[in-house]
Structure 1
Amino acid sequence: MTTINKENNTNYQYIKVDIASKVAVVTIDRPPVNPLNSAVFIELTAIFSELEQDKNVHAIILTGNGQKAFVAGADIHEMSSLNAAEMLEMNRVSGEAYNKIANLSKPVIAAINGVALGGGLELALACDLRIASERAKFAFPEVGLGIIPGGGGTQRLQKMVGQGIAKELLFFGEMFDAQRAIDLQIVNKVVPVEEVLSAAKEWALKLAEKPVIALRMLKLAVNEGANVDLTTGLALEMASFSTAFATDDRIEGMAAFVEKRKPTFTGK
């Protein structure tokens, strides 16, 4: 197991990273409920930038420390002390982190081990897949603070659940449980609290064995296709298909299929 830390010239105060078997586990460690402040956002952008360049990492899990909270929202103590200009800068920093995760070339799984509120739920929505504890709770409570989500919540949520449900969750800001989250397809899977990380690792290990360029093209086609018309999306899919088809992994995958053996992908 490899841990990214001060020893390799990276100083993370609120982030822990463990790497094993091509899977990186990124843990937000700001007890007791892992709130997001500017420093955490900066560290998230930095570590995901590092992991994107690390050829030994094929899949990433994002989680929170402990069983109480994935991330219990943004740090309101910090936000309440900011003026409008300072808040705009914090939004820029947070937006960079959310977008880095959402657009990363590698799959990212959120292991939601506890409450995911406001900015914490936005963080989960920026990931590709979400596995939640059966005890997890979710909410966008911003309206009760006189504000609205500022990290993509109004946009990513409606693309998942539709405008009607999105407006209900955003307008009322009420807590909902893991069962409703899976009913609304906000999360992919719900497991007992003690199995959240192991379930996420099981998925991540499977993804880590997939051909990396094909996965990258899949994520690109789905993400970008969600924001364009069908004709443009189909053209994007064809371009992504062509990129994947030109790889050594495609040759290996098809040869393995014909020869009835397990493929050995090299990422080329």
Structure 2
Amino acid sequence: MSIQLNNLEMIKSEFVGENDEILVVTFNRPQAMNAMNTQLIKETLELFREQAYNTNLRCVVLTGAGEKAFSAGGDLKERNGMSDEDWRKQHHLIEDKALAIKDFPVPVIAAVEGFAIGGGCEVALMADFIIASENAKFGLAEITRGILPGAGGLQNLSRAVGVRRAKELIYTGRLFDANLAYEWGMVNRVVPKGQALEVALEVAQEIANSAPIPVRLAKTCVSRGSEVDFHTAYTLDLAAYNVTVPTEDRLEGVAAFNEKRKPVWKNR
């Protein structure tokens, strides 16, 4: 079953899954390789802010329209001749959008076909993980345009592939393929061309079948825990663990195991 949420000019979104608990968000500028202009950025930010309060939502899948690109990054045609003030105003929106994706309460999966360059690569890196087709090409090419990655790419790529590998890729702006991204730990899976969204949705459904409260807590613990020392992170783990103990879903999970049936989660 699929329920369309909106069909705006720059993004499309729809609920899918067994109980419409998965949201597919599609960058919808295939004629421009899904380059991100100001309107697309605003629509994406608005959608993520709105859906952060959707208690039925279990997972988000981000993808791009067409087969050529997930996103070619910032729209340099729109930016050509843009004043410093307007550039900074636009970048404030980019910063908010990046954090809205990274800090979204449920898992976000990037399904990448074709090019994910510059800001497009940064969006994919802001997701919890990436499913890439064999034709995917990644790169933080900003340095070849006189600027730096400004949507988390410097930090996220370093954390994904290691500092020394990231430095090489960032300093050169070089494109790299899905196989290298997988080998270096940036991509979770490489799948045949045209199947990134399909596989991402299969994984999203697996996530949706898990208990919703622990999934949200696990995202917080892993994301925040990776930024601090072990003992601080473990304290966060235990605090989150104890939140799950008095829930109805904890009782349901144990009962379902003993009764050899699929659990019915109530999200409470």
TM-score by length of 1: 0.94
1:54: Cα distance to partner? 2.3
Q: Secondary structure at the match of 1:165?
A: helix
Instruction: Specify the code of the residue in structure 1 equivalent to 2:12.
Output: K
Aligned amino acid, residue 16 of structure 1: K
Q: What is the aligned residue count?
A: 263
CA distance in 2, matches of 1:210, 1:78: 42
Question: Which deviates the most, 39-48 or 73-82?
Answer: 73-82
Pairwise CA distance, 1:193: 1.4
Match for residue 15 of structure 2 among 2, 15, 19: 19
**1:1-268 residue pairs with structure 2 within 5 A?**
1-5=2-6, 12-21=8-17, 22-32=21-31, 33-268=33-268
Offset at residue 181 of structure 1 (A) = 0.7
**Residues 207-261 of structure 1: per-residue CA shift (max 9 Å, x gap):** 1111111000000001111111222111111111111223211111122223333
Q: Distance in 2 between matches of 1:232 and 1:16?
A: 40
Root-mean-square deviation (CA, aligned residues, Å) is 1.3
Q: Distance in 1 between matches of 2:175 and 2:112?
A: 15
Give aligned-pair identity as a percent: 38
Q: Which secondary structure does the structure 2 equivalent of 1:47 belong to?
A: helix
Amino acid in the other structure paired with 1:176: F
8 Å Cα contact 2:135/2:193 also seen in 1: yes
Cα distance in 2 for partners of 1:192, 1:214 equals 32
How many angstroms apart in 2 are the aligned matches of 1:56 and 1:20?
A: 12
The alpha carbon displacement at 1:70 in A equals: 0.2
TM-score, normalization by structure 2: 0.94
Runs of 4+ in 1 over 6 A off after TM superposition: none
* CA distance in 1: counterparts of 2:215 and 2:129, whole angstroms: 13
In the TM superposition, what is the alpha-carbon distance from 1:132 to its structure 2 partner? 0.5
Unaligned stretches of 5+ residues in structure 2:
none
How far, CA to CA, are the matches of 2:159 and 2:196 in structure 1?
A: 25
